[in-house]
Amino acid sequence: MNAYTSREFTLYHMLTFKNDVHQGVDSLGDMLCNSKYQAYHVQLEKDTIWAELQATNDDNFETLMENVYSNVYQRHMMGLPILGEIKNIRKITREMIVDFHQRMYFGENMTIIGTGSVDHQQLVDLAE
């Protein structure tokens, strides 16, 4: 499975001030390396995603846009629903998340992109 057809894709996005890039990279590194995925927090997040999916399904414009992306980007990850499929949310377990983390979150499998007035070498050094 290549990166374009994989359903296993995660994106983290953060905004920082120019002088705070180190804090942003440090926070991201802490999330990626030290997450505990406590069962209680996993359930809270599942409940949040479920509510967001319900709201999306009740919004005609959002439903239309999901269908447009699905048809325009057939068989490409851009066509997948941003929050996932509602039927899958309740099935996710902490063990599934930990397994995904162990399989997918490692150096060669990650890309870090900085835009704006980010010093490239500083970002590289921080990421390493």
pLDDT tens digit string along 72-128? 999 888 888 878 888 888 899 999 999 999 988 888 888 889 999 899 999 999 988
> Percent of the chain at pLDDT above 70?
93
Task: Let me know if residue 33 belongs to a domain.
Answer: yes
Give the mean model confidence (pLDDT) for residues 6-29: 85
Is residue 44 assigned to a domain? yes
Query: What CATH number should be reported for the domain holding residue 42?
Result: 3.30.830.10
Angle between helix 120-127 and helix 21-34 axes, rounded to 10 deg:
20
Number of domains in the chain: 1
According to the model, what pLDDT value does residue 2 have?
35
| Residue-number span of the structural domain to which 95 is assigned | 18-127
Specify if 12 maps to a domain. Answer: no
pLDDT of residue 8: 64
DSSP 3-state of 28: helix
Give dist(CA 101, CA 107) in Å, integer.
12
User: Can you give the pTM of this predicted structure?
Assistant: 0.70
The verdict on residue 5 lying in a domain is no
What integer pLDDT is reported at residue 3 of this predicted model? 38
